[in-house]
Chains A and B, each alone.
Chain A
Amino acid sequence: MRLQESPASQVNQRIPTISATPRSFLAVILSFACVLSLGIELPASAANPASAKDKKPKNDPALKGLPITELSPDEAILHALNRLAYGPRPGEVERIRQMGLAKWVEQQLNPNSIDDRALDARLADYPTLRMSTAKLIDEYPQPKPAEKQAEKRAQAQAQQEQRRSDAAAEKVARDVQGTQGPVAGGGDGEAVQQNTANAKQEMSDAPALMKQEQPEGNPATKGVGKRDVLGGADPNNVPRAIADDSKRPQRVVAELGMAKVTRAIYSERQLQQVMDDFWFNHFNVFAGKGEDRYYITSYERDVIQPHAFGKFKDLVTATAKSPAMLFYLDNFLSADPRAAQRQAAERAARQQWRRGRFGWPAPPRPVGNPQAKKNERGLNENYGRELMELHTLGVDGGYTQKDVTEVARCFTGWTIEKPRQYADFKFDDRLHDPDAKYVLGKKIHAGGMKDGEQVIDLLVHHPSTARFISTKLARRFVSDNPPPALINRMVETFQSSDGDIKSVLHIMIWSPEFWSRESYRAKIKTPFELVVSAVRALGTDVDTPLPLVQWVGRIGEPLYQCQPPTGYSDKADAWVNTGALLNRLNYSLALAGNKMRGARTDVASLLGVDSSADPKAALDRAVQVFLGGQAGPTTVETLEKQLDNPQVLQAKLDDAHKQVDLGVVAGLVLGAPEFQRH
């Protein structure tokens, strides 16, 4: 519904024709309430600030307790639902108005106080969510029969080929003047054996690694082209291989994506879902990297979710010990380079003792054995760097390359036990660098696992961390360029509360900057936010979320598939590009047009059946329902012109097309620039 406009543009008042059923009566009341209380609210870049002053909340009881002076009650509630949740569902603004916004926010900050059993029922569809890593590895193994077959074939052909290449090698040796020295006698055999051992170890990696080539997580069934995998040309179809319950490893990550979408749509603990997403992204792990596909289920459930509102230090510690992070950032391989030497010396000493008892000399170790060198582990700085650069201090937080190395030394020994069986955290003292380290000017020499723990303590209490985390939170919840005063306040709270995340969120939400006109509709929705908010806005009933998961990927944010540890960006420019925008539009059309497999959208009942009698009325209703009645003048005008199209008017006469019209109207509104923002 369009309301007061600037004098420059056309003024059109419209009263929707809605029949007098109780629900539409309520709709009428709401509509008129909106007419009275709302003006044209354009995004921050708009050129019409004058009407903003007309909407003082005037001590509206719904807003009591919150520092809201610039937004109207409906705007404020909408803003809260858009930032602290994944957008409003039908009727939700009214529900919260009744409850009182402050009360709703307090509840959201205490998720356990909210009954979420309906969601739990939906999540029962995804058994992997409750499984331990060990069980996942056991029940969703890499396909074994293929490996066995390959082995057999290889052996059969090997002999034949052996003869051929022996002949070839001899020929070459004869042809080329012999400058090549003879290969060491035992070297080849050892090499082949070692390679076999490695190959066996890496064989199970091979299919996993090949999957990386299709980062969207589609099953790479041999011989099936990418087109087929996406279910033919129709992007709304899903491949059976993932849609069913077959126990393939791809199913594990598929369930993660489906569960994430389900939770975001249906959970009552909305802020919990937002924070889970925020922290997962902050401590990003990539499902396409080898074993991580099995580790992320536990990572999300046991590491991220329980600590999302707690102490930041606990969250960092939990991620540092998680097999998911240890594998993703390679720390499980990191070892003191002298560890191998120490172990060899110990072994030699033991052997010496044993043989010495019987008077036999210990056999000499081969010098410069290339295989031994290959097996030697060294220091891996990957986690050490990212812990500081991405998790705590931030890239400008004041650490040096030397610090990176020192931190890495502190974390040697933090590894994974039996990564291919049950993948537990293990501290292996044999790999640990026992010498003193100096991190950010402080000496770390507590020994064993305490070195790493001390580093975490040092980092989380560093002032740069308070600032880095506060800024990131403010960017996520307020705007791409959050006001310094707000950040400072959050930094203070971070430090005085010893990194208590809930306290920092509280101070942020109870700041006037959170509710400022500048931050209203200031952010572009990420692909995930867009997909979920559209479903919520339409009241769509989803029973198979997989096509939705795939759309999130298509629009640019494939879930759990972010390769670099930086995670997905939280700024507009990452998401606003030509291809992505087109996909957003096509998504809206498919969803609203009820062409999304596994989801049922009933736009007609949402907008009120009789609205289909007049496309323009339907448009007004759609703008009311999906955009809170706030659309730029050009948006509605241009859409009205399109709806003047005789095709639309003709179609309305035919009952079968009623649904279609509304789907088109709703799709257009959901694809509007206004709906891309929140």
Chain B
Amino acid sequence: MSYRCCEGVPGLKFSRRYFLKQGGVAMVGLSAMPAFLQRAVAATPMPNKKQLVVLFQRGAADGLNIVVPFGESNYYRMRPTIAIPQPKRGGADAAVDLDGFFGLHPSLAPLEPLFHKNQLAIVHAAGSPDATRSHFDAQDFMESGTPGLKSTEDGWLNRALEAVPEEDASPFRAVAMGPNLPRMLHGAAPAIALPDLKQFKVMAQAPGTGQIVEGGFEAMYSQTVDHALHGTGTETFEAIDLLRKADPAKYQPENGAQYPTSRLGQSLQQIGQLLKADIGVEVLFVDCGGWDNHVNEGGVQGQLSNLLKDLGQGLAAFHQDMGDRMENVVFVTMSEFGRTAKENGNRGTDHGHANCMFVMGGDVKGGAVYGKWPGLNDHQLNEGRDLALTTDFRSVVGEILVRHIGVRDLNPVFPGFDNNSRKFLGLIKA
């Protein structure tokens, strides 16, 4: 990983790894470096590395009530009790107007300024083309990146990392916020599951033995002749060390950002901390659940509304917290499929097909709802019941990977898919 500031110097490669081995982020060992490097290091390092955050809403979020097509009269006929009313002047219990046809669920009001400042784009009628309505199959397909194929063992996000190879990559290059690595990050490229920033360390059980055990393990693994474990062991302790020295937990939310206290809110805050700590994070994954509202999804009020309050506040806080750093970050949301256009008899909806995706960030051409809108009349529905699909999620993510992250060839990332860039929606600045 090189800093652009040093690229002009022939024959010199400044690597983060080198820096850490000399003693971490602290200003130790600078005397060994040429003077201009010391100056560069002393200034706040702003790597021009691009970052991607993926938020997976597990359970099939109801896209039609999240980004409301209030211009469709059939929407109101199909959802007599849970439809979101059309925007009214100054009305808090109605859709927040985006472009005269689509509106946000009122609980997502904090995202409206982002939309109108062109930082947030929406893609509607997007998702996976596979017809399955099984949660776990559909999540599997959306994470493996090969809808319909169950034999794929790795995830598209991991393959994307492989597509942009990095020598001396930070152990935190790919991070999943949670106790397990998601399918999306399974694969050859290393990735870390971080349930809690504060708990990524050796946890001595007996008081006062912390140093002994950490030192003992670190020494054993760095010296062992066991090749496979040596590599991982060394990385583990480097990661622990790096995290401890960078101390991401010390970063407080900036610019007045206030994260919700929910699990999602805390995860987003920790993502912010990780990004600020400049430890080489490039790709982050976070998921949230509870979206499977067969019963009592509700309209303006209800289960969905509560989830959206959390999501809206969280995303807005993250954006605020990041400030200028948002230039380098693209944040994308996805869900395994959408929900039925018609409500069921329990103020809820059932498993559907196409959904909406949010794409937020400095590189995003926000302020628009992308994708071809298929309409909600009966004959326009998928299998007579769902929002039809017009944009494959791989086109959306593919564009982000190519234009924001810098992946050159998408074919290994999404094998079997037409990765031609003319299918891109044009929502990322070239």
Q: Is A673 in contact with B59, judged by CB distance below 8 angstroms? A: no
Q: Is B347 in contact with A578, judged by CB distance below 8 angstroms? A: no
Question: In chain A between 211 and 235, which residues have their CB closer than 8 angstroms to a CB of chain B?
Answer: 212-216, 220, 225-227, 233
Nearest-neighbor residue (CB-CB) of B381 within chain A: A370
Q: Which one of B2-10, B34-42, B73-81, B419-427 contacts A?
A: B73-81
Q: Is B217 in contact with A668, judged by CB distance below 8 angstroms? A: yes
The answer to the question of A196 belonging to the interface, with a C-beta cut-off of 8 Å to chain B, is yes
Q: Is A579 in contact with B220, judged by CB distance below 8 angstroms? A: no
CA gap between A357 and B225 in the complex, in Å? 89
Question: In chain A between 184 and 236, which residues have their CB closer than 8 angstroms to a CB of chain B?
Answer: 184, 187-188, 191-193, 195-196, 198-200, 202-203, 205-206, 209-210, 212-216, 220, 225-227, 233
A580-617 to B contact mask, C-beta < 8 Å, 1/0: 01100110011001010000000000000000000000
Known: A169-B76, A202-B294, A673-B220. A663 touches B225 (CB 8 A): no
Closest chain-B Cβ to A249's Cβ sits at a distance in Å of 16
Q: Which one of B12-20, B110-118, B187-195 contacts A?
A: B187-195
A639-678 to B contact mask, C-beta < 8 Å, 1/0: 1011101011001000001001101100110011110110
The answer to the question of A628 belonging to the interface, with a C-beta cut-off of 8 Å to chain B, is no
Q: Is A330 in contact with B134, judged by CB distance below 8 angstroms? A: yes
Q: Is B350 in contact with A590, judged by CB distance below 8 angstroms? A: no
Nearest-neighbor residue (CB-CB) of B233 within chain A: A581
Number of chain B residues close to chain A: CB under 8 A? 93
Q: Is B294 in contact with A579, judged by CB distance below 8 angstroms? A: no
Name the residue in A192, A200, A638 with the highest tally of chain B Cβ atoms < 10 Å from its Cβ.
Answer: A638
Chain B contacts for A634, CB-based, 8 A: 220, 223-225
The answer to the question of A507 belonging to the interface, with a C-beta cut-off of 8 Å to chain B, is no
CA gap between A660 and B134 in the complex, in Å? 50
CA gap between A150 and B345 in the complex, in Å? 11
CA gap between A329 and B202 in the complex, in Å? 40
Q: Is B86 in contact with A168, judged by CB distance below 8 angstroms? A: yes
Closest chain-A Cβ to B385's Cβ sits at a distance in Å of 6
The answer to the question of A453 belonging to the interface, with a C-beta cut-off of 8 Å to chain B, is no
Known: A195-B342, A210-B290, A577-B232. A642 touches B179 (CB 8 A): no
Question: In chain A between 28 and 74, which residues have their CB closer than 8 angstroms to a CB of chain B?
Answer: 42-43, 45-47
The answer to the question of B89 belonging to the interface, with a C-beta cut-off of 8 Å to chain A, is no
Question: In chain B between 348 and 394, which residues have their CB closer than 8 angstroms to a CB of chain A?
Answer: 348, 350, 377-378, 381, 383-385
The answer to the question of B286 belonging to the interface, with a C-beta cut-off of 8 Å to chain A, is no
A164-191 to B contact mask, C-beta < 8 Å, 1/0: 1110110111001000110110011001
Closest chain-A Cβ to B304's Cβ sits at a distance in Å of 13
Closest chain-B Cβ to A593's Cβ sits at a distance in Å of 4
CA gap between A667 and B183 in the complex, in Å? 31
Contact of A150 among B204, B230, B295 (CB under 8 A): B295
Q: Is B343 in contact with A212, judged by CB distance below 8 angstroms? A: no
Contact of B205 among A157, A370, A589 (CB under 8 A): A589
Nearest-neighbor residue (CB-CB) of A154 within chain B: B347
Q: Is B350 in contact with A199, judged by CB distance below 8 angstroms? A: yes
CA gap between A248 and B280 in the complex, in Å? 44
CA gap between A180 and B76 in the complex, in Å? 13
The answer to the question of A244 belonging to the interface, with a C-beta cut-off of 8 Å to chain B, is no
Closest chain-B Cβ to A644's Cβ sits at a distance in Å of 10
CA gap between A47 and B230 in the complex, in Å? 15
Contact of B83 among A165, A187, A590, A641 (CB under 8 A): A165
Q: Is A564 in contact with B225, judged by CB distance below 8 angstroms? A: no
Known: A176-B71, A572-B228, A663-B205. A370 touches B385 (CB 8 A): yes
Chain A contacts for B49, CB-based, 8 A: none
The answer to the question of A386 belonging to the interface, with a C-beta cut-off of 8 Å to chain B, is yes
CA gap between A676 and B77 in the complex, in Å? 61
Known: A578-B190, A647-B209. A227 touches B345 (CB 8 A): no
Contact of A370 among B224, B348, B384 (CB under 8 A): B384
The answer to the question of B340 belonging to the interface, with a C-beta cut-off of 8 Å to chain A, is yes
Known: A46-B225, A153-B296, A209-B292. A635 touches B220 (CB 8 A): yes
Name the residue in A168, A216, A389, A676 with the highest tally of chain B Cβ atoms < 10 Å from its Cβ.
Answer: A168
The answer to the question of A113 belonging to the interface, with a C-beta cut-off of 8 Å to chain B, is no
Closest chain-A Cβ to B9's Cβ sits at a distance in Å of 32
Q: Is A202 in contact with B350, judged by CB distance below 8 angstroms? A: yes
The answer to the question of B31 belonging to the interface, with a C-beta cut-off of 8 Å to chain A, is no
B332-344 to A contact mask, C-beta < 8 Å, 1/0: 0000000010111
The answer to the question of A515 belonging to the interface, with a C-beta cut-off of 8 Å to chain B, is no
Chain A contacts for B417, CB-based, 8 A: none
Chain A contacts for B179, CB-based, 8 A: 216, 553-554
The answer to the question of A107 belonging to the interface, with a C-beta cut-off of 8 Å to chain B, is no
Closest chain-B Cβ to A66's Cβ sits at a distance in Å of 27
Chain A contacts for B200, CB-based, 8 A: 579, 582
Q: Is B346 in contact with A203, judged by CB distance below 8 angstroms? A: yes
Question: In chain B between 133 and 178, which residues have their CB closer than 8 angstroms to a CB of chain A?
Answer: 134-136, 140, 150-151, 153, 171
CA gap between A254 and B153 in the complex, in Å? 27
Closest chain-A Cβ to B238's Cβ sits at a distance in Å of 9
Q: Is B292 in contact with A386, judged by CB distance below 8 angstroms? A: no
Chain B contacts for A166, CB-based, 8 A: 80
Chain B contacts for A632, CB-based, 8 A: 224-226
Closest 9 CB pairs of A and B: A370-B384, A213-B289, A196-B345, A593-B205, A199-B344, A161-B81, A169-B76, A638-B219, A634-B223
Could you tell me which B residues sit within 8 Å of A by CB distance? 58-59, 70-74, 76-77, 79-83, 85-86, 134-136, 140, 150-151, 153, 171, 179-181, 183, 190-194, 196, 199-206, 208-209, 211-213, 215-217, 219-221, 223-230, 232-233, 235-236, 239-240, 262-263, 287, 289-290, 292-296, 299, 340, 342-348, 350, 377-378, 381, 383-385
Contacts A/B (CB < 8 Å), 6 sampled: A199-B350, A215-B180, A288-B136, A573-B228, A643-B212, A663-B206
- In the complex, besides A195-B343, A374-B383, 8 extra interface pairs with C-beta distance below 8 angstroms are A227-B263, A330-B134, A371-B384, A382-B150, A524-B228, A595-B205, A637-B223, A668-B213
